[in-house]
A and B are shown apart, each in its own frame.
Chain A
C-alpha cells in the first residue's frame, strides 16, 4: 500500500505528466484559458485514461504484439467518441469551448503512453489506479495553468455549472485596469507553462541536493 501511495504522489508531483514529462502539452496550452475548460478537459481525460487502461490491461494477453498500437488507438478512439457525444449532449457550452480538443484527446500522448508503458504489463486494478493518478496529475496541472492565466488575464476567478451554465462563484481579484490581457493569448500560455515547468525542475533539483547532502 505504501508503495502505491508513493507512486500516486510521484504521478502528481515529481513525475507530473505535463510539467515533468512534457506529455499532453498541446491541450494544456490550448484550453487553460478558464477554470471551467480546465476541469471539463481534466474530467474527460481521467475518464478516457482510466477506462482505456482497464480495457487494455484486461485484453493484454490476447492482443498480438505486432498490431498492439493500432488496437490501442481504436480502443482509445472509441472511448473518446463516447466522451465527445456525452459532452455534446449534456454540456453544450463546454463542447463549444473545448472545440476540436475533445477529439484530439485521441492523440494525447499521456493516454497512449500509459497504455504502452503501464497497462500492457500490469493487472487491471493497478492499471485503473495508474490511470486515475496520472489523470489527476494532468488535471492538477491544468488547474494551476488556468488559475494563473484566468486571474492574470481577466482578473476574475469564476466557475459555472457546465450542465446549466449557472454561475457557482465569481470573484474579482485584479481590477479591470490592471489586467494583463496577454495571458489570455498564446504568448501567455507558453510563458505560464515555461515558468511552471521551471518551478517543478527547481523543486526537484532542490530535493535531490537535500538528499545528496544527507
Chain B
C-alpha cells in the first residue's frame, strides 16, 4: 500500500516536470508531435530504470565500502552516459526497428536532468531496493504522462492565433503554467 501511494505521489503530486522543473529541454523540444513525445517518454522510462538500478548497486556495493561517497556525482554521470551509449549500441544491433523509433532520442537523454536526479534521489532519500525500483518507474511515468498531454495541447496550438512575440516556446510555457496550476490541485491526495 505504501508503495502504491509512493507511485501516485511521484506521478501526480510531485510530478517531475511540473513541480520539480526537471527535463524541461525534452519537454519543450520533442513535444511538438505526439509520436515523438511517446517515443521520448518510453526511452526515458527505460534509461532511468536501468541507470538508477546500476547507480544504486554501484553506490552501495562499491562506493560505500571504499568510503568514496564524495565520488557519487562523477560516478553517476558516467554510469548514465555509458548506459545510454550501451543501450544505443545494443538496440542498433539487435532491433533495428526499435532503433528507428527510439534512436534519435537516446543521445538526448544523457543531458536530461531527470536521470541524474532520480539516481541521486534514490540515495539521498535512503530508499530500499524495492522503493528504488518503484521510484525509478514512477518518476519517468509521470514524465511520459505530462509529455503526452502537453504534446496534445501543442498540436492544437498550431492552428491558434497567437501574438507574434509569444509564438513558439513562450506560449508553450504559458500552457505549462496552466497545467502546473491544474496539477497543484492533486496536492494532499495521498
Contacts and interface: CB of A to CB of B under 8 A. Distances in A.
Interface string A63-81: 0000001100110011011
B21 A189 contact: yes
A187 B164 CA distance: 23
A104 interface: yes
B181 A187 contact: yes
B73 A80 contact: yes
Contacts of A186: 18-19, 21, 177, 180, 184
A112 interface: yes
B63 interface: no
Nearest to B28: A22
A185 B170 contact: no
Q: What is the interface residue range for chain B against chain A?
A: 35 or more
B28 A106 contact: no
B20 interface: yes
A173 interface: no
Interface centre among A29, A107, A185 (most CB of B within 10 A): A107
A191 B163 CA distance: 16
Nearest to B18: A186
Nearest to B107: A69
A205 B164 contact: yes
Interface in A28-79: 29-30, 69-70, 73-74, 77-78
A188 B113 CA distance: 21
A190 interface: yes
Contacts of A70: 78, 81-82
B128 interface: no
B116 interface: yes
A198 B25 contact: no
A190 B180 contact: yes
17 contacts: A22-B25, A22-B28, A25-B25, A26-B21, A73-B78, A77-B74, A77-B78, A80-B73, A100-B120, A186-B18, A187-B177, A191-B173, A198-B163, A198-B166, A201-B164, A201-B168, A202-B164
